[in-house]
A and B are shown apart, each in its own frame.
Chain A
Amino acid sequence: MRFFDELPPMEFLRSEKMSFMQLIIPVESAQRAISYLGELGLVQFKDLNDDKSPFQRTFVNQVKRCGEMSRKLRFLKDQINKSNLTILARPALEPDTNLEELEVLLGEHEAELLEMHTNSEKLQQTYNELLEFKLVLLKAGVFLVSDQNHAAPSERELDEHVYTPEEDGGTLSLLEQEIQPDFSNKAGLRFISGIICKSKALIFERMLFRATRGNMFFHQAQAGELVMDPVSGEMVENTVFVVFFSGDQAKIKIHKICDSFGANCYPVPEDMTKQRQIIREVLSRLTELETTLNAGIHHRNKALSSIGCQLWRWTMMVKKEKAVYDTLNKLNFDVTKKCLVGEGWCPAFAKPQIKDALERATIDSNSQLGIIFHVMNATESPPTYFRTNRFTQAFQEIVDAYGVARYQEANPSVYSVVTFPFLFAVMFGDWGHGICLLFAALVLILYERKLGSQKLGSFMELAFGGRYVILLMALFSIYCGLIYNEFFSIPYHIFGQSAYRCRDPSCSDAHTTGLIKFREPYKFGVDPSWRGNRSELPFLNSLKMKMSILLGIAQMNLGIMLSYFDAKYHGNSLDIRYQFVPQIIFLNSLFGYLALLIVVKWCTGSQADLYHVMIYMFLSPTESLGDNQLFWGQKTLQILLLLMAIIAVPWMLFPKPFILRKLNMEVMSSQDRERGNKQRKEKGKEKVGGNEQRNDKGKEKVGRFQGRTYGILHTSETDLDVELDSTREHHNEFNFSEVFVHQMIHSIEFILGAVSNTASYLRLWALSLAHSELSTVLYEKILLLSFGYNNIIIRLVGVAIFAFATAFILLMMETLSAFLHALRLHWVEFMGKFYHGDGYKFTPFSFAALADDEE
């Protein structure tokens, strides 16, 4: 144990030391101080106004203003998107505007755009009307002409289809014009012409029919041109119609119906020359309007693009500002002292940086008063903060997905960096596949900068996030693949010649009697001659199974060792004596012994049956081992180990809860005594500070807000101990039965877990077997089969299928399954031994996180 004590401190193993700090900020420098802290991004503020609703807080008006500004920004962004402009956000050319200026600027821009909108809307409306008028004139003109051409009303419908727009210019004769006025007077018919949205035309016609009781005639034709709907901005297909009817009553009704359907009616003169004249006028006005509209759009686009290049910067600025005010709202406002009181967590190493930022804020805001920063006692446990880089982050996230570490708990991700890819590779061992994976990982890493800046699909996002995990997994797969000697399931003679050869040159009995060994063993990994051999599977299975158990026991022992370091770090000798020691004895006396037997068997080449040894160690420990004896004194050792294991069980189970109870009783009685003494003293003296020792939360809170009763701590070394003490003091409601049941569950879980977890590591063997068998099947049944045919097409097809199957089944599905199994081995078998994972993450107030949100 001395050895462990002298190890250098492992700072990566623990989360950062956190301090609970209090800031007292004068009002004039508050905004600046918080924004500097936001840039630093190392302070997590506590919400001191939890009981207040958002609009009762101090800086609600500023938050509202920021909300209003971001609404304007969204409006501008919307406009830019609508106008289909592609704008590159240029780096800030203009000097930084402050928020007030920005607010004014945004208001101006919005007003300007809105005005342009109303202007162009009016223009657009007139344009639409003219366009519709033109369409009505062209189409309805045709109906009218056709009506007049054939006086018999029954033929109208037929002719409507015969007529085409080209004809109408040419076929109009003077004769027709003369007939026309005559016609309308004679029949007493009137008509209304107009245009309506195509989808409504059918109901419209039906409605007209009902309203006039069938006394009308309805003509319709496709408008042919799309007209923009002013409300939705979409192009709509329209239908031109002409309704013939008689009577005033009907006219009113039809007009009403037209109104209610949103159909626009336009008068079409019955006089042909007039008609043509109007068409000409309309056309000329249309072209005029079009140029005006285009100029307007051009103008607007120019304005928008000038806004667009600033938009992103403004959005960020407003976001930051809003975040600052949201944070300020978390602070307590002390009206009498004209200052804000904030509380929160910061990592201990960041104190100088924070102090520096606060000083800068004081100077920059010309404040008379400095910002007071001091460290306090905290009643709750601190947040967990690990400093990660882009390499370790993915591993940390794997661990965090299980549970965020308790404050200053051993961090399994340090070990996971190697053990995770390694266990993966044990299952995925094939150096051909490993190289493919390596290429994928290298591509992701080489294009890191490019990929990191853009939005990826969910699957790519996943792969990109874990690119370094994939890299390590690939490297370890190549290593394990070399040991298994598999390259897409094909063995190679990389490290020299095989140690085996046939008994005779013809090699006829290779598959019946086997090969003979004639030289030194193969240098590295599995001898390629095992491949395709009758005993290939039994050999590889035995190898991989034993290897899995060895790896498993090593990893579980590491887990238990970490629980020792944890207990030692937190000064918890109880856990070391009554939990760690029996656990390590129990595991190693049973399964550690198995591991020892495996190693001995490998080294000596013994034929002993390990199942038999292990089973009879329990069933009849005193019986002689016979042929299965591996080393001298094995029987005595077995009995000894069995006894140790049996002793370890109650050792784990009983002492700890009873000792805890005893300790608790002592503490309680001493507290009672103290309190009694104090009360006696207080009777004679004044009643000061009586509240301090009692952990009365409510009173403490009140006291803290008044800013009087806490003591300032100066050294960072002492504050941690005090913190720990103060956190522990709060749990002093001791419930013996609960503790005992908890201990019982924990012990039983460990004892059963020792068996089941060891068995669980056999998944390493199972998956590795599955992987190699699957790749063998693909290779033999697809690639070799297709190459059996002397046909280039079949061979190509075979290669294609092989490539796809390898890529999708082996490289993607198998990677995922091996990943999941490695994950499970880490979460359950390894981390279950020591990891609590009931902490909460440090979420500092940081502008960098805001920018990430935006993307």
Chain B
Amino acid sequence: MYGFEALTFNIHGGYLEAIVRGYRSGLLTAADYNNLCQCETLEDIKMHLTATEYGPFLQNEASPLHTTTIVEKCTLKLVDEYKHMMCQATEPLSTFLEYITYGHMIDNVVLIVTGTLHERDVQGLLEKCHPLGMFESIATLAVAQNMRELYRLVLVDTPLAPYFSGYITSEDLDDMNIEIMRNTLYKAYLEDFYQFCKKLGGATSEIMCDLLAFEADRRAVNITINSIGTELTRDDRRKLYSNFGLLYPYGHEELAVCEDFDQVRAVLEKYPPYQSIFSKLSYGESQMLDKAFYEEEVKRLCLAFEQQFHYAVFFAYIRLREQEVRNLMWISECVAQNQKSRVHDSVVFIF
């Protein structure tokens, strides 16, 4: 019932929407970033962050700080907030919130599998996992030797199982296969999430489908660029693109045959929303594309807050917070490694 959410939305979603909007106002502003970018040491960063919402998470950290500690604590805040919202949520919002974490789950699975492939310590790998994407039997991933086992042993219990069941080969795990697995899983996940949001209807579906379509397109572009020059065939590449989004289906056909960055650019410039992104980049400059996409994403996510009575604000908030943590990580790294001139390279201002 599009247009009538205002009548009933607040019965279940009103409290949490208020909460998430409150959280949003705790995001760092451009003034904060300006101050952070001027920091000389990690201590300065800590000092500045203790004056913000991150205060309670950072203030008890002992003095020789590391970037990882800062990032870990900042992520902890996001996780705390997510858990709080999750506890309060009712259907279908709770399912929606769960969907948001599946992406991290896929990343964690891939991280552990690759890690064990290269014989890293499982505990160390677990610490590197994103806490939002943890599930109970994640440590057991190390046992699996091939994909079939992976599925049968571990993933069958997780929400990722349906995404995986469509793609089981008994091939051994190697880097290439894992990367393909990640993208296949992600494709299935995005499509499932897309369908779920469609089903929710109303403003949620309108905004979320938009955001997810952008996400799918961005992934398609990234897959294309990363697979240039690898042994991935065109058909395989084509299979990794999600079956929705602005580029689907004609753009995908064209992307599948691209051989270098400028061809990708030519394909995307046919689409007005992406034209503006590329118009900022000079030819051959593929490194800056990530940042440009991030900026576009942040812009779109911020716009989600302009409308009321829909779930996309939760998605947008968590994504924005993640972007903020990425920013903080970049700033901290730059400060820690004395590369302050590069500090603005990858920081995306949110407000």
Contact = CB atoms under 8 A, between A and B. Distances in A.
Interface string B138-152: 011111000000001
Interface in B50-76: 50-51, 59-63
Nearest to A72: B62
B144 to A, nearest CB: 9
A55 B38 CA distance: 9
A207 B153 contact: yes
Interface stretch (A218-226, A255-263, A443-451): A255-263
Contacts of B40: 55
Nearest to A207: B140
Contacts of A63: 47
Given A55-B38, A67-B59, A260-B142, 12 more contacts: A54-B47, A55-B44, A60-B47, A71-B60, A203-B137, A207-B153, A210-B153, A256-B140, A257-B140, A260-B137, A260-B143, A262-B139
B143 A256 contact: yes
A203 B135 CA distance: 12
Nearest to A110: B62
| Shortest Cβ-Cβ A-B pairs, 8 listed | A260-B139, A53-B35, A55-B44, A256-B143, A260-B140, A210-B153, A68-B63, A55-B47
Contacts of B43: 64
B19 to A, nearest CB: 23
Interface string B150-186: 0011100100000000000000000000000000000
B136 A203 contact: yes
A161 B51 CA distance: 60
Contact of A211 (B39, B62, B63, B153): B153
B228 interface: no
A203 B62 CA distance: 37
Contacts of B51: 54
B201 to A, nearest CB: 36
B65 to A, nearest CB: 11
A71 B62 contact: yes
A74 B154 CA distance: 42
Nearest to A200: B136
A74 B50 CA distance: 15
A624 interface: no
Interface in B302-343: none
Contact of B60 (A60, A75, A261): A75
Given A54-B48, A207-B153, A71 B59 contact: yes
Contact of A210 (B60, B136, B152): B152
Contacts, number: 59
A207 to B, nearest CB: 6
Contact of A259 (B48, B122, B152, B154): B122
Contact of B143 (A56, A68, A75, A211): A211
Contact of A257 (B60, B143, B152, B157): B143
Interface string A235-269: 00000000000000000010011011110000000
Contacts of A75: 60
A416 B62 CA distance: 52
B143 A53 contact: no
Given A203-B137, A207-B140, A257-B143, A56 B60 contact: no
B72 to A, nearest CB: 16
B197 to A, nearest CB: 31
B122 A260 contact: yes
A277 to B, nearest CB: 34
Contacts of A262: 139
Given A256-B142, A256-B143, A257-B140, A55 B60 contact: no
Contacts of B143: 211, 253, 256-257, 260
Interface string B110-146: 0000000000001000000000000011011111000
Interface string B63-103: 10000000000000000000000000000000000000000
Interface band, chain B = 20 to 34
A260 B115 CA distance: 14
A628 to B, nearest CB: 59
Contacts of A210: 152-153
Most-contacted residue by chain A among B35, B122, B143, B153 (CB, 10 A): B143
B138 to A, nearest CB: 8
B69 to A, nearest CB: 13
Interface of B: 35, 38-40, 43-44, 47-48, 50-51, 59-63, 122, 136-137, 139-143, 152-154, 157
B113 to A, nearest CB: 13
A705 to B, nearest CB: 22
B22 to A, nearest CB: 22
B117 to A, nearest CB: 14
Contacts of B154: 207
Interface string A186-215: 000000000000001001000100110000
B42 to A, nearest CB: 11
A42 to B, nearest CB: 28
Interface string A266-300: 00000000000000000000000000000000000
Contact of B47 (A67, A259, A260): A67
A55 B50 CA distance: 12
Interface string A45-64: 00000000111100010011
A48 B331 CA distance: 29
B39 A55 contact: yes
Contacts of A211: 143, 153
A211 B60 CA distance: 43
Nearest to A206: B157
Nearest to A74: B60
Given A55-B47, A64-B47, A210-B152, A261 B139 contact: yes
A105 B61 CA distance: 19
Contacts of B48: 53-55
B340 to A, nearest CB: 14
Nearest to A70: B59
A260 B137 CA distance: 8
11 contacts: A54-B48, A55-B48, A67-B59, A68-B63, A200-B136, A203-B137, A207-B137, A256-B143, A257-B143, A259-B139, A261-B139
B141 to A, nearest CB: 8
A30 B74 CA distance: 37
A205 to B, nearest CB: 12
B257 to A, nearest CB: 42
A226 B285 CA distance: 61
A64 B44 CA distance: 9
Contacts of B140: 207, 256-257, 260-261
Most-contacted residue by chain B among A55, A74, A257 (CB, 10 A): A55
A63 B51 CA distance: 13
Nearest to B43: A64
B315 to A, nearest CB: 30
A815 B65 CA distance: 56
A261 B140 CA distance: 7
Contacts of A56: 38
A731 B18 CA distance: 41
A116 B151 CA distance: 46
A503 B225 CA distance: 112
A483 B48 CA distance: 64
Nearest to A255: B143
Contacts of B50: 67
A60 B35 CA distance: 14
A261 B153 CA distance: 14
Nearest to B38: A53
Interface string A785-801: 00000000000000000
A766 to B, nearest CB: 37
A37 B226 CA distance: 65
Contacts of B47: 54-55, 60, 63-64, 67
A322 B190 CA distance: 51
Nearest to B47: A55
A691 B60 CA distance: 51
A262 B138 CA distance: 12
A63 B137 CA distance: 46
Contacts of B62: 71
A744 B219 CA distance: 64
